[in-house]
Amino acid sequence: MSVTLEGNMLVTGSNRGIGLELVKQLAERTGAEAHIYASCREPEGTRAEALRELSTQHPGKITIIKLDTSDEDSICAAVRAVNEEIGAGGLNLLINNAAINKPARPAPLSATGKKDMMEVYETNVVGPFLLAKMFLPLLQRAAERFSPEDHEGDMMSCRRSAIINISTVISSVKKCPETFSMAPMYPYRTSKTALNMLTRCQAEDFRKHNILVTAIHPGWVCTDMGGEQAPLAAQDSVLGLLSVMSSLSNKDSGMFIDWQGNSIPW
Ligand code: NDP
């Protein structure tokens, strides 16, 4: 599987799990011109040790950015920090990966309250909404720099300018009858279904700027969120995710697919 991503990329929630692996493989598999903005809530804290170590292994290629996706002020500050460093190239790829699942799984209805619903919606939907809105000028800047010869007919790609919203197969309304009983997570499921609609709206809205927007399910992955019984290693999920991202074009904007490129019903 080939990874042909380049330019400036930003990953949210990159201090552990799939986000950390995304930054690792992006750093390893992209050329010298690529730059990765790896964002997390506490860059100086113990939870970001692995990310700091990773950035020292790739001098000059990774910038760690402080970003809490549930906090609008933090998003503003992060956008400012990236803007100051990024230069004329703009932002080629925004990966909205950070998310929470509350309360701790499995979560029956009796253990789920308003606070869980609101917190999960704020992180999983409002965060990606604000990030895309505030990074739009930098995404547009990247999209405008591409010349027609660069994209052989397809106007949109992750190399040009794109937003990837990391979703989940259990957000699928159609698949709910077969997936609900094994994962009865009201806040998480409904938030990711809203993220899918956000993806669809952004794809329509940003098509005029040649910015691609796609929702991708990473598989059931062995992370803190996915749990130890998950069949897929983060390494394999991310290899698939990056390969799929590398292949996306016009027809994939506004779509919902998995880490192997298969389409998922809404
Ligand atoms: P983890 O729980 O392992 O990691 C979540 C990451 O998101 C952490 O880095 C965490 O940072 C960060 N995060 C949470 N809230 C915020 C916030 N407010 N601001 C910034 N960062 C935040 O999850 P995964 O790596 O497994 O999941 C990554 C993505 O993949 C998520 O979108 C998830 O919904 C999706 N997904 C995962 C599946 C799986 O099986 N693992 C299946 C389907 C989808 P911190 O350390 O500060 O908490």
Ligand 1 centroid from CA 30, angstroms: 23
Ligand 1 centroid from CA 186, angstroms: 17
Ligand 1 centroid from CA 101, angstroms: 8
pLDDT in the model for residue 152: 64
Domain assignment of residue 266, yes or no: no
Domain assignment of residue 263, yes or no: no
108 three-state secondary structure = coil
Domain that holds residue 112: 8-258
Mean pLDDT of the chain, nearest integer: 95
Q: How confident is the model at residue 3 (pLDDT cuts 50, 70, 90)?
A: confident
Hey, which of 11, 22, 41 would you mutate to test ligand 1's pocket, going by the most ligand atoms within 8 Å of its Cβ? 41
**Each residue's pLDDT tens digit, 84-101:** 999 899 999 999 999 999
**Mean pLDDT (whole number) for 238-264:** 97
* Residue 265: how many other CB atoms lie within 10 Å: 9
24 three-state secondary structure = helix
Domain assignment of residue 185, yes or no: yes
Domain assignment of residue 202, yes or no: yes
Domain assignment of residue 49, yes or no: yes
Number of domains in the chain: 1
The answer to whether the Cα torsion of 187, 253, 30, 76 is positive or negative is: negative
Alpha-carbon distance 22 to 244, whole Å? Answer: 13
Residue 118 CB partners (closer than 8 Å, separation 6+): none
Given a cut of 80, whether residue 47 has pLDDT beyond it is: yes
237 three-state secondary structure = helix
Given a cut of 90, whether residue 8 has pLDDT beyond it is: yes
Ligand 1 centroid from CA 18, angstroms: 7
Atom of ligand 1 nearest to the CA of 188: 34
pLDDT in the model for residue 104: 74
Ligand 1 centroid from CA 126, angstroms: 15
- 222 within 8 A of 230, measured Cβ to Cβ: yes
Alpha-carbon distance 130 to 142, whole Å? Answer: 19
**Each residue's pLDDT tens digit, 143-188:** 999 876 666 667 899 999 999 999 999 999 999 999 998 888 999 9
Number of residues assigned to the chain: 266
Q: Measuring from atom 19 of ligand 1, which residue has the nearest CA?
A: 68
Our answer on whether the CB atom of 55 is closer than 6 Å to any ligand 1 atom is no
User: 0.90 exceeded by the pTM?
Assistant: yes
199 half-sphere exposure, CB direction, 13 A CA radius: 31
